[in-house]
Structures are given as C-alpha cells and as structure tokens.
A and B are shown apart, each in its own frame.
Chain A
Amino acid sequence: LEHIMAQAESLATTDQVAPPWLAARTDRSVGPDAVARARTRAIELVDRDSASDRFPQRILSTVKHAWRWLAHNIRIALSTEQPVHHPLVPDPVGLRALIQHTRVALVTTRDRSGALHSEPMEASQRDFDGVIWFPASESAPVLERVRARAAVQLTYHDKHSNRCVVLDGIARVCDGTGRHATNRFIRVDVVSADAWD
C-alpha cells in the first residue's frame, strides 16, 4: 500500500500534476502529455486496487485531488455563470443544477473483454458534491463491469438548456445500509466534465 501511495505521490509531483495542497505552493504549467500520463496512471492504480476488497482510500483521494486539480486548471474552459459548489471543484458547466433536475444519466462502462455498454440509471440523490450514487440490484450486469473496470462515463442530456454533458468518473460498488441493505450502490467520483450546447 505504501509503495503504491509513493508511486501516486511521485506521479503527482514529478509529472507536474499537483494535488491542490501542492499547487498552492508551486506555479507550474501542465502540458497535455502530463495530463494524459496522470490519467492513465491513475486509472491503472485504481483499477488494480479496486479489484481487491481493501480499496485504499488514500490512493483514491490522491488521484481524485490530482484529477480535480487538472479539471480546475485545464479541462474546463467554459462559462462560469454557475456558483462554485465544492471547494475543489469549480462548476463552470452548471453540473449542480443539471444533476438536480436531470437525475437520469446514461452510464457507460466496459466489460472484461473491453466491450462498451451504456444504459440509463437514475441517481438516488438530488444534491451534488462531486459524488453521484446510483442504486442497482446485486444481479445487475453493470455491477460486474464496474468491478472489472473502474473508469466510467456519465452522459446527461439537459432538456431545458439543450446541453449535453459528459462526465468522467471513477466508480466502485458499495453495499447499502439500513433499509437499503439488500441494494448495491454504484458510487461515481466525478473527475472531469465536458459540455456541449
């Protein structure tokens, strides 16, 4: 675990992909190659570790911060009319409003063979803090795909604004608690967004 952490952290520093606490102290520019490498490495780390039950939260957190920092600095150069809703995630595409009134997303996953699948799923919450939860029954094939490959995409079509938003995320399967104990939930940590009007 420490070894993987060290790798993730060295990636964050040597490839100039700095998590926010580091970005505050440095002022480096980031090229597209560094972004691609960081994303690839992050997915490798998360894919490998999410296969085991002991999913290392610290790694997820490091990767997430690196990605959010990227999203903040590079990926999104759209309007900024929506209020910022999360200290680490700006909301230039109006994600919060979108997720509040469009709860159904097209969830794109890949199975072990690499084949793509896409299906609409309804989120269980109305607010958005960077994480989206989708309830699913244990027998749903999508769970197996998420367990096999953690990188997913969510596509939202906003009827009101006619806007299409594609979110990149890291997904994992979580057990329900209490009255939802028989359910499973897919937790998607959103790492970046692209939007078209």
Chain B
Amino acid sequence: MGLSLQRGSEAAGPSELLSDLVNSVSVALITTVDATGIMHTRQLPNTNSECCDDLWFLSSQDTPLIDEVRRNPKVLITYAHRATGTYLVVNGEAFVRNDPVRARHLWHPTLASWLPGGPDDPQLALLHVSVKSVEIWE
C-alpha cells in the first residue's frame, strides 16, 4: 500500500511516523542520474533524524555521486526499514553546500568507516536534499 505526501501537506501524525522511520535506518540509498542518463544507486550513511523538509548527508568530494549531483540535482533517497518491510521514498533535489558548522554537527564517530578523513577533511562534501515529495510503501 502506498501513501503519498506532498511537501508541506503532512499532518503531525505522519510526520512523526516518518521521522521514526528515518531515525531507525542507518544506511539510506541515493539514486542519481549521470550525464548519459544512466541511473546509479549507492549507499549513503544516514545522518538525519527528522523527516522531511530537508535532508542532509555527508559524502566526499571527487566521488561520482557528487559529480552526478552537480550536473543533475534530481535524486531519490530510499529508506528501507527491513524489519517491517516499509520503504520511504523521498524525491528531491540535491545540492552541495559549504557549511562546515553543519557538517561538524552532523558528524558521528560511526561515519569514520565511510569518511576516514573526519569532520574537518577539506574533501568532505555536505549534501543538502531539498525534499519535493515523500512516499511511504508497505
């Protein structure tokens, strides 16, 4: 069953539900489209606890993911809650932001396996996803 929520339309109930879901998933999937029109789906550690006006992620500059987002900001973020078989599909536009304070705020020691350079690495990329719509599927 699918429930579709346009941005801004969700009531308090669904929003809490969505935040709970986002909170319990440690690795999200991000789907981008490269310059040739091919879709790529990759894992991205989840650094969000609330859903969903904006999502923030940390990645690394010089990765194909960041290149693709710079060319084409349209992305899908998928949160799969495996225990309940619930999928949260977030449609949005992603932008690379320069905000070291926010990046440091998002940092968590478990990210070290993904981003060994740490929170102050100049190669760290802060990814901002401006959410257009959210769908939840069971």
Contact = CB atoms under 8 A, between A and B. Distances in A.
Interface of A: 36, 39-40, 43, 104, 106, 108, 110, 114-120, 149, 151-153, 155, 157, 159, 162, 164, 166, 168, 194, 196
Interface of chain B: mostly helix, strand, loop or mixed: strand
Interface string B29-45: 10101001111010100
Interface of B: 2, 29, 31, 33, 36-39, 41, 43, 72, 74-76, 78, 80, 82, 85, 87, 89, 91, 135, 137
Contact of B39 (A40, A104, A108): A108
Nearest to B89: A118
Contacts of A36: 36
B111 to A, nearest CB: 17
A194 B82 CA distance: 18
A186 to B, nearest CB: 16
A194 B38 CA distance: 14
B82 A108 contact: no
Contacts of B85: 104, 159
Contact of B82 (A39, A110, A162): A162
B75 A157 contact: no
A108 B31 contact: yes
Contact of A110 (B39, B41, B78, B135): B39
